[in-house]
Structure 1
Amino acid sequence: MAQDTVRQPPPTASTAPARSLLPFILPAAVVGVAAALVFVGVSAAAEKLQHVLWGPLPDALGVGRYSALWMFVMLVATGIAVGLVVWKVPGHAGPDPATLGLDAPVLPPVVLPGLVLAAGLMLAGGPSLGPENPVIAVNVSLAAWLGTRLLPRTPDSLWPVLAESATIGALFGAPVAAALVVSEALAGKPMRGRLWDNLFAPLTAGTCGALTTDLVFHPTFDLGLPPLRHLDAKDVLAAVVIAPAAALLGMSAVYAFPYVHAAFRRLRHPMLMLPAGGLVLGALGALGGHLTLFKGLAEVEELARHPQGWPAGRFAVMTVVKLAALLVAAACGFRGGRIFPAVFIGTSLGLCAHALVPAVQPSVGVATGVLGMLLAVTRHGWVSLFTAAVLVASPAVLTLLCIASLPAWLLVTGRPQMQLRPDGTPVR
């Protein structure tokens, strides 16, 4: 009897019947399309405003579009505008953005208009943050608020997961990113059934979000760098040096984050904190040039079009300035995310490595630089690997990134994150 007991196979998770998954398809599809449209609407409106603020307006005033004077004027004005929203608009544009990550809380509906307005003004005005955190927060809150009213029998916990998956799929134009984030979140939680059963509804939402964005917004992350066809020893050596170096550089900002945040908090009022942040960002923009402004995605494409267009020193300056701009913008109260600016920082660092050592291929430098920086700033391993991989359209880069992620992850795991608790202490 004892021998038979020993030979029994371990229990496995049961597979959910198809009829239990089918009811989730329609809600997931609706959330996916709606979340993508919110993202596209915010991004498109911000781009149109950016075109006016940094084009016809300075031209009409006889000021250079990216002159140091105009950078100071625009970034301080953006700080004032966002400060007014945070101060006066109902809901105050949500909680302190330094306390938020990709897993956004469900916010009351009254908060959402101010959060959308603050995010749109930030994106147009030039601070170094992306749209992901506020857009995810808006979509999560809308999905939870509407879903629980329209389909009250559906579990409340489903709506935030669907909205987050849909928004991530829309942001990256690929549902795989959403599935990776959700699987990473499920890793530490008890699950009922198999992993793919739990991923079915989020993957549906992410697919619909990505497809909607692809159809109406046409995003692309491929930088058009020379493909990496075959790996050799110098590529592996470059990868295991650049990725940890990028992670260490990113961790310097992570460790400085609570101190910079506390310094701005001493000003105690959004009409002081945000204009002061805009003033610092204007100085950084004047030092680093216009490519270090904004969320960084279009600017990354410009860097990639001319990987030999700047000397190593110039790439180094842009790397450090953009990292400082990300740190200041995230600490002083601007509503935005950190993924897209981190992509610019990692790209600039990787091209700096190529300029210093021409034997380092641009594709290797960019992919591993982005990987290390994202691991430090986001602490999302799958998102970091995925983002770094899609920047370089080459299957061979996946092996290289997996190798490079190991030493980089050892440097960041268990250490403070670039996210704070309400009391100002860093999340670990």
Structure 2
Amino acid sequence: MVQDSARQTPSSAPATPARALLPSILPALAVGVGAGLLLLGVSAAAEELQHVLWRDLPDALGVGRHSVLWTTAVLVATGLAVGLVVWKAPGHAGPDPATTGLDAPVLPPAVLPGLLLAAALTLAGGPSLGPENPVIAVNVGLAVWLGGRAVPRAPARSWAALAEAGTIGALFGTPVAAALVISEALTAQRAAGPRGGLLWDRLFAPLTAAAAGALTATLVARPSFDLDLPGFGRPGWGDLLAALVVASAGALLGLCAVRALPYVHGAFRRLRHPMLMLPAGGLVLAALAALGGPLTLFKGLDETAELARDPEGWSAGGFAVLAVVKLAALLVAASCGFRGGRIFPAVFVGTALGLCAHALVPGVHPAVGVSAGVLGVLLAVTRQGWVSLFTAAVLVASPSVVALLCFASLPAWLLVTGRPQMQLRADGTAVR
């Protein structure tokens, strides 16, 4: 037995010496801290503007904060403001957001201020998009630009990987999510063509950046994704069945938006000008907000916590309306040109779906319903398996739910794999 073990073929990927990894620590720390600070700065500025638009101004004018009139006025005005930035800013505030994902392109420095301004206006004004995509793009552009000047021999892709990792680490307040995203990307790269080196050697610098970004966010803002749902103990067979069904339903619901994206995007593109597309999108979002209420506005993180605080606060129909309206709002905001990401709105959709399942069948534990619903919707919307599983698990902070989610991810993944993604090519066709 010992001899057989000794004769086993060693790994073909040689380990990287420590002396080759040490020089990457300081650049990774710098990029991670910078990425975290930029994310926090944009989020804080957008939150202050949000308070002005949705609290101070309506109170001063004596109108309802979330009345149909004020909601319509703010969303259309946000569309006009973002449309003006997209129209006049250098580089038109980056590429069409419907064509981008978490893997950001390297944009010229002149494009970054417009993209950052458009993202901040979107976050403050109420469209259902999160900060991740534009902030990652800005951090990638800055890291490549500044890093290329500081260390000209370093490849641009290395700086981009550090910026992506640092931003994702800061976004979730933990480097684990970034490590999972990068591992998935590295696996795809190896499928296209092996590059040698152990996985942890290649993760060393990005994980350092992710840890720096996460620690920066934790020390400054102390983010928490735990929804504080009722405690979940030992799982049973009923919990497994519920997780399988709800995750699959979430995947199917998410695929509805994925299928609709090329058509909705094409309808807005017929308007041809950002000063028409974005205000029109704001008007549609206002109509959706009138249908679903103020909880269906904004990126959805605070609104998700509000839903989870009262799992019995709505009927099954009420939760279903919230899920469908929020998904429609995400679809419209991503199609008409608002700059933002899709993860946080998708989390709201999955949470509402999971609580709908609990309201329909009280035996479905809220923690199981929410985590499985988020898992299914995120798998369809992001097509990122590890991030979907990680996000669903941290929302309920219960180790016993992880095994259920691993099983639930299997049928949900079979439903989404090979299907179109919620991302378009330049010609408007869906990426597969």
- Structure 1 counterpart of 2:79: 79
> Matches of residues 173-212 of structure 1 in structure 2 within 5 Å?
173-189=173-189, 190-212=194-216
Q: What is the deviation of 1:59?
A: 0.9
Q: What is the deviation of 1:192?
A: 1.9
- Structure 1 counterpart of 2:130: 130
Q: Deviations over 1:73-118 (max 9, x none)?
A: 1111100010011111222101111110000000011101100100
Query: Which residue, out of 304, 307, 327, partners 1:303?
Result: 307
Q: What is the deviation of 1:229?
A: 1.4
Cα distance in 1 for residues equivalent to 2:345 and 2:165: 21
Task: Look up the equivalent residue of 2:154 and give its one-letter code.
Answer: T
Q: What is the deviation of 1:396?
A: 0.4
1:258 pairs with 2:258: no
Instruction: Give the conservation status (yes or no) of the 8 Å contact 1:417–1:426.
Output: yes
Q: Deviations over 1:27-54 (max 9, x none)?
A: 0000000000110000000000001100
Cα distance in 2 for residues equivalent to 1:421 and 1:337: 17
- Structure 2 counterpart of 1:381: 385
Find the residue that maps to 1:214 and give its secondary structure. helix
Q: What is the deviation of 1:156?
A: 2.2
- Structure 1 counterpart of 2:145: 145
Query: Which residue, out of 408, 411, 415, partners 2:412?
Result: 408
Instruction: Give the conservation status (yes or no) of the 8 Å contact 1:166–1:178.
Output: yes
Cα distance in 1 for residues equivalent to 2:27 and 2:9: 38
Cα distance in 2 for residues equivalent to 1:187 and 1:75: 41
- Structure 1 counterpart of 2:115: 115
Cα distance in 1 for residues equivalent to 2:150 and 2:197: 27
Find the residue that maps to 1:345 and give its secondary structure. helix
1:356 pairs with 2:360: yes
Cα distance in 2 for residues equivalent to 1:11 and 1:405: 30
Q: What is the deviation of 1:191?
A: 3.2
Q: What is the deviation of 1:233?
A: 0.7
Q: What is the deviation of 1:12?
A: 2.4
- Structure 1 counterpart of 2:290: 286
- Structure 2 counterpart of 1:275: 279
Cα distance in 2 for residues equivalent to 1:281 and 1:8: 61
Instruction: Give the conservation status (yes or no) of the 8 Å contact 1:227–1:393.
Output: no
Find the residue that maps to 1:187 and give its secondary structure. helix
Find the residue that maps to 1:116 and give its secondary structure. helix
Cα distance in 2 for residues equivalent to 1:226 and 1:203: 33
Task: Look up the equivalent residue of 2:276 and give its one-letter code.
Answer: L
Q: What is the deviation of 1:188?
A: 2.0
Task: Look up the equivalent residue of 1:43 and give its one-letter code.
Answer: S
Cα distance in 1 for residues equivalent to 2:201 and 2:82: 42
TM-score between both structures, scaled by the size of structure 1 = 0.98
Task: Look up the equivalent residue of 1:276 and give its one-letter code.
Answer: A
- Structure 1 counterpart of 2:97: 97
- Structure 2 counterpart of 1:394: 398
Find the residue that maps to 1:157 and give its secondary structure. helix
The alignment-based identity, stated in percent, is 74
Q: Deviations over 1:370-417 (max 9, x none)?
A: 000000000000000000000011100110100000000000001100
Find the residue that maps to 1:54 and give its secondary structure. helix
Cα distance in 2 for residues equivalent to 1:188 and 1:102: 14
Q: What is the deviation of 1:10?
A: 5.8
Q: Which moved more, 1:184-193 or 1:34-43?
A: 184-193
Q: What is the deviation of 1:122?
A: 0.4
In structure 2, relative to structure 1, the CA distance for the partners of 1:402 and 1:8 (3 Å cut) is closer
1:232 pairs with 2:231: no
1:56 pairs with 2:60: no
Q: What is the deviation of 1:225?
A: 0.6
Structure 2: segments with no counterpart, 5+ residues: none
Find the residue that maps to 2:90 and give its secondary structure. coil
Query: Which residue, out of 214, 217, 221, partners 1:217?
Result: 221
How big is the alpha-carbon RMSD for the aligned residues of Structure 1 and Structure 2? 1.0
Instruction: Give the conservation status (yes or no) of the 8 Å contact 1:143–1:160.
Output: yes
Q: Which moved more, 1:329-338 or 1:185-194?
A: 185-194
1:335 pairs with 2:339: yes
Cα distance in 1 for residues equivalent to 2:142 and 2:136: 10
Structure 1: segments with no counterpart, 5+ residues: none
Query: Which residue, out of 318, 322, 339, partners 2:322?
Result: 318
Q: What is the deviation of 1:13?
A: 1.1
Q: Deviations over 1:329-363 (max 9, x none)?
A: 00000000000000000000000000111000000
Instruction: Give the conservation status (yes or no) of the 8 Å contact 1:169–1:209.
Output: yes
Q: What is the deviation of 1:11?
A: 4.6
Alignment length (residue pairs): 423
Question: Where does structure 1 differ by over 3 angstroms across 4 or more consecutive aligned residues?
Answer: none
Q: What is the deviation of 1:8?
A: 6.6
Find the residue that maps to 2:225 and give its secondary structure. coil
In structure 2, relative to structure 1, the CA distance for the partners of 1:308 and 1:208 (3 Å cut) is same
